[in-house]
Each structure stands twice: as structure tokens, then as C-alpha cells.
Amino acid sequence: MSINKIVIVGGGSAGWMSAATLIKAFPNKEIIVIESKDVPIIGVGESTLAGIKRWTNFIGLKDKDFLKATDATYKLSIKFNDFYKKDSGGFHYPFGTPMIDKNRNPFQDWHIKKYIYPDTPVTDFVECLFPASALFNQNKYCPNTDNKFDNFDHNKNVAYHFDAVKFGRWLKEFICLPSGVIHIEATVTNIVKDDKVGIKYLELDNKQIVDADLFIDCTGFKSLLLGQSLNEPYISLQNLIPNNGAWAAQVPYKDKEKEMESYTNCTALGNGWCWNTPLYSRLGTGYVHSTKFITKEQALDEFKQYLMSDKMVIPRTKEEVEKLQFRYIDMKIGIHERTFVKNVVAIGMAAGFIEPLESNGLYTVHEFLFKLVDILQRNDISQFDRNMYNSSTKNIFDGFIRFVSLHYLLSHRDDTEYWKGIKDGIIIDVEKEMMDHYSDDHNAFNDLVQRYMVSFQHPMGIAGITYIATGMNLNMMNEARAKNEYFLSGIPLEHTAYQANLLWESRKEKWKNNANDAPSLYQYLKENFFDGKE
């Protein structure tokens, strides 16, 4: 199958990211986007991961060009509040590479410190190893052009909060159309199939007939092409992630200096968790939950209580909350058995969806697109190519959803039926899969977690698992393990911990002092990207 004409059905962030990627990679191919004005855009994905920098660099996007247009802010981390236990506080999952160059054993030096000094707070782990922690702890920002924050790299270790709807529109107007992407504003009224090829052509409400060598399905949860037309089976993964709904709202700022945080703030509640994503003009917030444990109406009440509580940087009054517009999103957790079938590829929610924890909404979009570009470079596509694509994207998805499930598995919350039930359901699944893959000793939970994730090629790597596990107060270090790691040196463990801590405390003090002199995130963005305007 030779690919010269590609038709993308559906706009939004997934559709226009697909168009921008394909026209950049294949400027000589005909790229068409069919976008219906009658189909609302869900607009999920206000929060991204640092991996999006690889994509923006590939497309050639400059922060100066799109931050203002998309209401964007910088993001250095994800913070998880009360996930370990109720009212246990929070910990960060930072972006970037930890500073372990002078450690005797990567990561494990700190865990020995925790073993020797058990009262060490779990937040100390990130503060010792990540220079950017001094910035997000003080709500400051610095691009680190003068290396005051050591290995923090503004070009790699930063993600974005932005308005996903505005982002899609900006890509359309300033990247895709000027690059030659053809835009058809119409609604698909009929899909004519061919048993051998897949989809033969589309009939539109403007009487156009549109054929293609390859169709990209970006139609969201309804998956018009892959799911409805080709009837590709959908694999529900509610057994791994039982959450199936979310309330969302846009909240006006009361104090940008305090509320515009350089991280996504995730707070566990009695029946789910809330997100806070600070855009430049407003806060985006929502409540993810499972209707197995709470009704939609009860979830809305709990969400409103959250907005009025001290879990917010600045609590809202009841009157302010009642003025907000609340939108409900039904979530379909899972993925199609194959996402590249015949001449149809699904991208975004049309392919599959994991709940918003770990800000993965747009992650699978750009990662699946990179895989698609790899395949399309061969031009003549065979079934082997499709199989390779399906295998690689499935591994990305499977690894990520299991990583998200660990946020619940590692929690010790048992204060509600939700937290008891959600863990019990996932644990059964984990134990079964682990026993299918391994039959050796499972006593060391660290090994269990690592093998579980590695067996599914977790895309965030073991480092990401370590950040979450450590934040959840999981320290696998004990006397036997510690001595095994360090017995060749002949240096007492106490001395190892003491020497390592001297280095860390010196670094922490330097980073903290440098952050004192940095502007707030709000002031930095205001002066550098928003023309000094509120």
C-alpha cells in the first residue's frame, strides 16, 4: 500500500497535531483535515509531560510564538497530595534527570539515608536530586542560562499547561494551513467500505466525496472510523483504572502570584482525585471519580467542597463556586485491540484513553505520531509494518496505564470504600499478571514493582517508578540489602549516608538561594511572553 494522500477526520488537538506532524515529516504528501463545526471539541489535555518538547522541537515550534496564543504556562513537575494517606501531604514527580553523578550508587544512596535516618521526609528525595525543586517549591522560574541550577535544562525538562482547544486552533492557523494542509469544514455523513482496503471513501454533508490512501481517525471516544466503521474490538481496562467520569470547571484567578504554580497539582479526595492546571488567564480544575462508588451528583458536591477547602491555594467562597460552569466528561478507559487496521489509524481518544492522572492525554498523541512517522517513511506499507506499529503503540499504552495504576496500588489510603475497592480490584490483576510472567521470590516489593513495569516496557522508565514509590513512603532498603550494595567499599553505612548528605545539603542550599533571586513563574511569563499584561 503506497501512501500519498492522507485524510484526517476530526480537528481538535489530536487532529491538528496529526496534521502538523505529517506535513512536517512528509511535505510532499497531500494532507487533508475534515473538521465538523457540529461536533464539539472535548478539549482534554491542558496538562502535558516533558516529552512534548521532543514533539515541539520536531515541528519547530517556539515558545515565543504559541505561549500567548494558547494561554500557556510552564510546568516542571506533577505534585500528588494525600495519595499515600489521607492528609499525608504531597510529593513531586519532577521532570528531567536527577543529579546522581557523585553518588556511589544511583538513587540508593538516598534510600540508605532514609534507612539510617527514618524521620527524613519523602520530599527530601526530590529536593536532594533535582535542582528545579528549589524553583517549584518557591513558585519561581528561571531558564537556567547561567547554570545556577546545575543540570536543569529549560529545553528538555519543561512541559506546558495550555488551553488544548486554543492549541489546536493555533496549529491549524499558524502551522498547518501555511504549510499546505487542506482544511475541509464538513460533517461525514456516510462511510463507504471496501473489505480488502478498509475505507474506500467518505461522503460529506457538502456533497463532497473524499478518498485517501490512509485515513487518520481523530474523532474522540466515538472512534467513527476505526471503532464504528471497521468494528475493531475495544479492550476495556476498567480493571486497571476503575475511574470512569470527571467533572471539569474553569476557575478565575484570585491571586496569580500564588495560584500560578509551575506544576500540575493532583489532590486525592474520598472518591477520586482533583487536578489543578494553572493557565495564564485561569485555573483549569476537575474531579476524576468512579460512578461505582459515587453518583455524578455526589461527585459534583464533593468537587464543590474541594474548591471551597484549604486544599486549594486560595479557597473559593460558596457564592463564587456556584457561579462556575461545570461540565461532565464520561471517560472510556481502554484501547482498541489494534489501532492501525487496513488503511485506518486512530490517534488520541479514538485509539484509547487513560484517565488524566500523570497528564497523559496528549502524551499518547505525540508518541503514537512518532511511531506512525517511522512506519510511513517506508512509504509502501505492508501488514508487517502495521503489526510493528500496533505492537509498539500497545506497549506504550500498556506501560503507561500500569504506571498510573501503581499510584493507587502504592497508596495506603483506606478511609473510604473507594480507596479500599480500587486497590483490591487492581491488586488481583497485578498478582495474576506477575505470576504469569515470574515465579521467583516476590518478597521484595521493589523487585515486584520493577518487574511488573519492565515486563510491559513502561515508557517512563524505572526512574519514574522510583519517584512515585519513594513519595508513597516505599523504601526497600534494609540492613541486608544495604550491606550487599556497599560491602566491597568497607565504608560503614552511617558514613556513606553522612557523606552523601553533606553534598546534598550544600546543593540544596545553593539552589534555594538562587531561587530566592528568581522571579515568580507569573512574573517571568508576564514579562517574557505576555507583553507585561495581566
Give the pLDDT confidence of 10-62 residue by residue, as tens digits: 998 999 999 999 999 999 999 999 999 877 666 555 899 988 999 999 999 99
Asked whether the beta carbons of 455 and 437 are under 8 A apart, the reply is yes
Residue 422 C-alpha cell reads as 480500587
Phi, psi of 394 (to 5 degrees): -65, -40
C-alpha to C-alpha distance for 25 and 473, rounded to whole angstroms: 44
pLDDT digits (tens, 9 = 90+) for 183-202: 999 999 999 999 999 999 99
Q: How confident is the model at residue 422 (pLDDT cuts 50, 70, 90)?
A: confident
Decide if pLDDT at 170 tops 90: yes
Q: How confident is the model at residue 114, as a pLDDT?
A: 86
Q: How confident is the model at residue 454, as a pLDDT?
A: 45
The gap from C-alpha 485 to its chain's centroid, in whole angstroms, comes to 34
Residues 314, 320, 321: CA angle, nearest 5 degrees? 90
Decide if pLDDT at 155 tops 60: yes
Three-state secondary structure of 91-116: EEEECCCCCCCCCCCCCHHHHHHHHH
Tell me the pTM. 0.91
C-alpha to C-alpha distance for 520 and 524, rounded to whole angstroms: 6
C-alpha to C-alpha distance for 244 and 238, rounded to whole angstroms: 8
Q: How confident is the model at residue 482 (pLDDT cuts 50, 70, 90)?
A: low
Residue 388 C-alpha cell reads as 510493528
Residues 6+ apart with CB under 8 A from 446: 469, 474, 476
pLDDT digits (tens, 9 = 90+) for 88-109: 999 999 998 888 877 666 667 7
Pairing of strands 334-336, 234-236: antiparallel
Q: How confident is the model at residue 437, as a pLDDT?
A: 42
Decide if pLDDT at 429 tops 60: no
Q: How confident is the model at residue 151 (pLDDT cuts 50, 70, 90)?
A: very high
The residue to which cell 458536591 is assigned: 301
Q: How confident is the model at residue 108, as a pLDDT?
A: 75
Residue 233 C-alpha cell reads as 474490538
Q: How confident is the model at residue 493 (pLDDT cuts 50, 70, 90)?
A: low
* Residue 120, number of CB atoms within 10 A of its CB: 18
Q: What single-letter amino acid sits at 428?
A: I
In 3D, which of 239, 235, 247, 333 has the Cα closest to residue 289?
A: 247
Find the length of the chain: 534
Pairing of strands 5-9, 214-217: parallel
Mean pLDDT along residues 362-386 = 94
DSSP letters spanning 451-482? HHHHTTT-TTHHHHHHHHHHHTT-----HHHH
- Which range, of 136-150, 208-222, 484-498, 516-530, averages the lowest pLDDT? 484-498
Decide if pLDDT at 460 tops 70: no
Residue 128 C-alpha cell reads as 536532594
Q: How confident is the model at residue 441 (pLDDT cuts 50, 70, 90)?
A: very low
Classify residue 190 by burial, with Cβ atoms within 10 Å: 0-12, 13-18, 19+. Answer: exposed
Decide if pLDDT at 433 tops 70: no
Decide if pLDDT at 444 tops 80: no
Asked whether the beta carbons of 307 and 321 are under 8 A apart, the reply is yes
Q: Who has greater pLDDT, 388 or 45?
A: 388
Q: How confident is the model at residue 455, as a pLDDT?
A: 42
